[in-house]
Chains A and B, each alone.
Chain A
Amino acid sequence: NITDSDPDGRLTVTDKDVKLQEIALAKNEGKELTKEEKQRLRKEKKQHKKNKKDDKGPPEKEKEKEKASVPAPSKPATQSPAHKAAPAPVHASESAAAAEKPAKSKAELRAERRARQDSERTSKQGKKEGGQQSASSKPKATPNELQPVVKRLPEHVQVDDPAALKKLAKKLERQQVPLRSDYGYKVSLFSHLHQYSRKSPPTLQISIPATVIHPSIVRLGLQYSQGIIAGSNARSVALLHTFKQVIQDYSTPPNEELSRDLVNKLSPYISFLSQCRPLSASMGNAIKYIKKEISNIPSQCKEEEAKGKLQACIDSYINEKIILASEAISKYAIEKISDGDVILVYGCSSLVNHILCKAFEKQRKFRVIVVDSRPRLEGREALRRLVKKGIRCTYVLISALSYILPEVSKVFLGAHALLANGYVMSRVGTSQIALVAKAYNVPVLVCCETYKFCERVQTDSFVSNELDDPDDLIVTRNGKSHLENWQTVKSLGLLNLVYDVTPPDFVDLVITDLGMIPCTSVPVVLRVKNVDQ
């Protein structure tokens, strides 16, 4: 839209505008813009921004467009909205410098920038400037130094901030990813989060066949948004397999390097997926790993070789972090299950189900109580798997917890992520189970692979969460559904939370592939992992 990119209202009719019109047309048709067209758009916007800058004075914050206008190959994390990567003031200053020299050719400019980056990085390491340093280069350079980190707030918890929303809209427009609009009345406590309806996934706004976004990513996004693929492990594995497909189909354009271009290609895909459903902590860690692997590909590597290497990396990641980890965790957990036990599980955790099946194979005598909750009713799936194995099961809803808990000897819970302050983020209702189990003095064991550990900290379930479709709460009993027209009633709201955080004092033990640790040892594990990498 040409008028949008011209905030001062100046419409100069030149052949430049004709070019811009063509670009806009191409965008509306869903075709991918060529590199030239993108560069033109960027230049145009930069020019206007520069004029505005001159009028208003120096900018206070770096605008995302400036950063993006300089391809930032070693900072792939900044473009992903789910990551709290530090802003890159290094590149902002360079972009300002670059804007004053539009005459040089692109390749020369880029070479200059790269040289400057390297020199500045080495000098910075030598000087050790405190303050604004990027988090991703820190652990590599100085793992034992405690340096202050300026983190950028992820977009998905800033829905009540109109400036952040505008930024997101512009970024998605640039990446040609459809923007998903919120649905329904949001409870005021959660006005900072998105709330989407399952009936309108972003795939509806994409033209078929999809040319901008890889079709398997579109399919994955649809599967996420409809809940067909659910569960932390399942989502990560599906994501990694899809990325393998993407890498397979990728071909490096001329004059580009695979290590930088592939990362740029992945960014719109990631934005699209997070529009379909906010990324989980495990997916975030997997994406970080892939981007790191891609950027570590040496430039003289041939394309086929590089692709093969990346696919092998992904396979080994899945194998190590998910499959072998669950074997290790099962081994530890089976030691904790004795004959005659009554084990309580909640919802459907693939890891906990795996442990129970393995224990049953090892001839342990126990029975299982599956606790389930509305509206997802995931416990039915767990029940199906356990009954198929032949394990004796009982089924209750979560409101019957106080009734059933006196006969329980242990509680096994799965986790979505383990936060750095020891809190366990898991399906909503987990904290309730831990609370009541504590009141009845029943031990609570959480099973979690180490790739789900994340550096975030959180003390309650409000500041960062996911709001599911509120229409799921509507139910018909005795032929009447009371909440059917909840949208028409002004003061009625439905709240369908997806996650909640369990304080560490309710959890007795965390079983990970590194061993059995208390909840509070999570930051230790994170530090050890960072040093290793």
Chain B
Amino acid sequence: MPGADKETELSERIEAFLSELKRCGSGAGSLRGSAETARETTSLLRRITAQARWSNAGDLMEIIRKEGRRMTAGQPSETTVGNMVRRVLKIIREEYARSRGSTEEADQQESLHKLLTSGGSSEDNFRQHFTHLKANVIEAINELLTELEGTTDNISMQALEHIHSNEVIMTIGRSRTVEAFLKDAARKRKFHVIVAECAPFCQGHEMATSLSKEDIETTVIPDAAIFAVMSRVNKVIIGTQTVLANGGLRAVNGTHTLALAAKHHSTPLIVCAPMFKLSPQWDSALQELVLRSFCFLLPGEILSKVNAHCPVFDYVPPELITLFISNIGGNAPSYIYRLMSELYHPEDHEL
């Protein structure tokens, strides 16, 4: 039966995606950029919308929420998965509201006025059936996909507005967004980049070789020298894993030290982060301890007697950040909460 086949095929794809996520998280598979994860999640959600059996918006949202919960449970630190699920849920809500004919898109936001005057539930259960809902939702998801594909380019286009010539820019670890940003600026301007290598995985080395291939003057420094060279740095430009709801960051470890050093020398800290990294979570205490690849540094008989810690992420509070550059432009950290309310519906914050 074609329907059953489609369903099994769908569940197979979801399983494959989940196992891929788990593998990347444990470091055994190849490391994937967040942009790729976001794209794959969105196309998977589009497939679910197309192939799963649902009759009204409420059903679809339930299905997507369920799958979303499974996917985020597979790899909790990969927040882009959850972000994309929330975006799609918001799309569904919007399309539903448009189909119903209500022009109150602003209806979606909570407001004190609404709370007081509405009385009963202004929300219906999304149980109405619309024939064109499916097509509309899929079209909107396609738009989302195009937006995702253009994020890096949109960010890089703003590079020349922020980098002048003969600057010394510092960065840490490896971020594809920052790499594209700097390479774009290097086409017209000459500047110097200092890369902190970010032990123990030393992704900074890869970043430095890639930048130097574009004829950008690059220097690699060990993490310990960050404060020592900071006095000669004009700007710090970093990428991040997640942008949190309060404007803070969850970034690769060592970023907090970098941010403190930049604050001490009053050096602006610029974060290049596309919008799909914005997550409605607050700073969770979740830390991944990656002990395995760290153990090579210590001989065996000592290792058995000590505790060794190797956190993967750092929390950077919003006071240390000067500017966010995203695909929709530049923003201050104090504006992030507003952007978030445009992207996600408050009821979707908890999947």
- Alpha-carbon gap, A398 to B223, bound state (A): 7
Q: Which residues of B contact A497 (CB under 8 A)?
A: 221, 225, 228-229
CB–CB B309/A500 < 8 A: no
B142 at the interface (CB under 8 A from A): no
Q: Interface stretch among A280-288, A415-423, A488-496?
A: A488-496
CB–CB B227/A431 < 8 A: yes
- Alpha-carbon gap, A408 to B219, bound state (A): 33
CB–CB B309/A403 < 8 A: yes
Q: State the Cβ distance, A117 to closest chain B Cβ, in Å.
A: 45
A399 touching B254 in the complex, CB below 8 Å, given contacts A374-B223, A483-B209 = yes
Q: Which residues of A contact B115 (CB under 8 A)?
A: none
Q: State the Cβ distance, B24 to closest chain A Cβ, in Å.
A: 14
CB–CB B264/A428 < 8 A: no
Q: Which residues of B contact A482 (CB under 8 A)?
A: 202, 205-206, 208-209
Q: Which residues of B contact A428 (CB under 8 A)?
A: 222, 224-225, 228
B205-240 to A contact mask, C-beta < 8 Å, 1/0: 110110011011111111111111101100000000
Of A397, A490, A493, which is within 8 A of B220 by CB? A493
A357 at the interface (CB under 8 A from B): no
Q: State the Cβ distance, A342 to closest chain B Cβ, in Å.
A: 12
CB–CB B220/A483 < 8 A: yes
A324 at the interface (CB under 8 A from B): no
B1 at the interface (CB under 8 A from A): no
B-contacting residues of A (Cβ < 8 Å)?
A: 187, 189, 372-375, 377, 380, 383-384, 387, 393-404, 427-429, 431-432, 435-436, 439, 460-462, 473, 475, 477, 481-483, 486, 489-497, 500
Q: Which residues of A contact B231 (CB under 8 A)?
A: 460-462
CB–CB A495/B219 < 8 A: yes
Interchain Cβ contacts under 8 Å between A and B, 26 examples: A189-B229, A374-B200, A383-B298, A383-B306, A387-B306, A393-B307, A394-B308, A397-B200, A397-B310, A398-B224, A398-B254, A398-B257, A400-B311, A402-B315, A403-B253, A403-B309, A428-B224, A435-B257, A436-B256, A436-B257, A461-B228, A462-B231, A492-B220, A493-B220, A497-B225, A500-B228
Q: Per DSSP, are chain B's interface residues mostly helix, strand or loop, or mixed?
A: mixed
Q: Which residues of A contact B199 (CB under 8 A)?
A: 373-374, 397-399
B303 to A, closest residue via Cβ: A395
CB–CB A375/B220 < 8 A: no
| Candidate in B202, B205, B226, B314 with the most chain A CB atoms within 10 angstroms | B205
A475 touching B232 in the complex, CB below 8 Å, given contacts A383-B302, A394-B308, A435-B227 = no
- Alpha-carbon gap, A139 to B198, bound state (A): 48
- Alpha-carbon gap, A495 to B195, bound state (A): 10
CB–CB B201/A399 < 8 A: no
A430 to B, closest residue via Cβ: B224
CB–CB A395/B227 < 8 A: no
Of B208, B222, B228, B232, which is within 8 A of A431 by CB? B228
Of B215, B218, B223, B264, which is within 8 A of A399 by CB? B223
Q: Which residues of B contact A383 (CB under 8 A)?
A: 298, 302, 306
Q: Which residues of A contact B297 (CB under 8 A)?
A: 372, 377, 380
Q: Which residues of A contact B224 (CB under 8 A)?
A: 373-374, 398, 427-429, 432
CB–CB A435/B261 < 8 A: yes
CB–CB B227/A439 < 8 A: no
| Candidate in B208, B217, B220, B226 with the most chain A CB atoms within 10 angstroms | B220
Of B205, B232, B314, which is within 8 A of A483 by CB? B205
| Candidate in B205, B215, B226, B227 with the most chain A CB atoms within 10 angstroms | B227
Q: State the Cβ distance, A359 to closest chain B Cβ, in Å.
A: 18
Q: State the Cβ distance, B308 to closest chain A Cβ, in Å.
A: 5
CB–CB B306/A475 < 8 A: no
- Alpha-carbon gap, A395 to B226, bound state (A): 20
Q: Which residues of B contact A399 (CB under 8 A)?
A: 198-199, 223, 253-254, 257
- Which residues, 177 to 192 on B, are CB-close (under 8 Å) to A? none
Q: Which residues of A contact B223 (CB under 8 A)?
A: 373-374, 397-399, 429
- Alpha-carbon gap, A514 to B348, bound state (A): 64
- Alpha-carbon gap, A6 to B311, bound state (A): 65
Q: State the Cβ distance, B146 to closest chain A Cβ, in Å.
A: 33
A395 to B, closest residue via Cβ: B308
4 nearest A-B pairs in the assembled complex, by CB-CB distance: A429-B224, A399-B254, A402-B256, A373-B224
CB–CB B302/A384 < 8 A: yes
Q: State the Cβ distance, B209 to closest chain A Cβ, in Å.
A: 5
Q: Which residues of A contact B217 (CB under 8 A)?
A: 491, 493
Q: Which residues of A contact B281 (CB under 8 A)?
A: none
- Alpha-carbon gap, A428 to B305, bound state (A): 27
Of B219, B253, B305, B315, which is within 8 A of A187 by CB? B219
B95 at the interface (CB under 8 A from A): no
Q: State the Cβ distance, B60 to closest chain A Cβ, in Å.
A: 41
- Alpha-carbon gap, A491 to B215, bound state (A): 6
Q: Which residues of A contact B212 (CB under 8 A)?
A: 489-492
Q: Which residues of B contact A500 (CB under 8 A)?
A: 225, 227-228
Q: Which residues of B contact A398 (CB under 8 A)?
A: 199, 223-224, 254, 257
CB–CB A436/B205 < 8 A: no
A396 touching B309 in the complex, CB below 8 Å, given contacts A402-B256, A483-B205 = yes
Q: State the Cβ distance, B50 to closest chain A Cβ, in Å.
A: 38
B78 at the interface (CB under 8 A from A): no
- Which residues, 299 to 324 on B, are CB-close (under 8 Å) to A? 299, 302, 305-311, 314-315
A395 touching B219 in the complex, CB below 8 Å, given contacts A461-B229, A475-B202 = no
CB–CB A462/B261 < 8 A: no
B336 at the interface (CB under 8 A from A): no
Q: Which residues of B contact A496 (CB under 8 A)?
A: 222
- Alpha-carbon gap, A486 to B209, bound state (A): 8
CB–CB B257/A402 < 8 A: yes
Q: State the Cβ distance, A360 to closest chain B Cβ, in Å.
A: 15
Q: Which residues of A contact B227 (CB under 8 A)?
A: 431-432, 435, 500
- Alpha-carbon gap, A187 to B232, bound state (A): 13
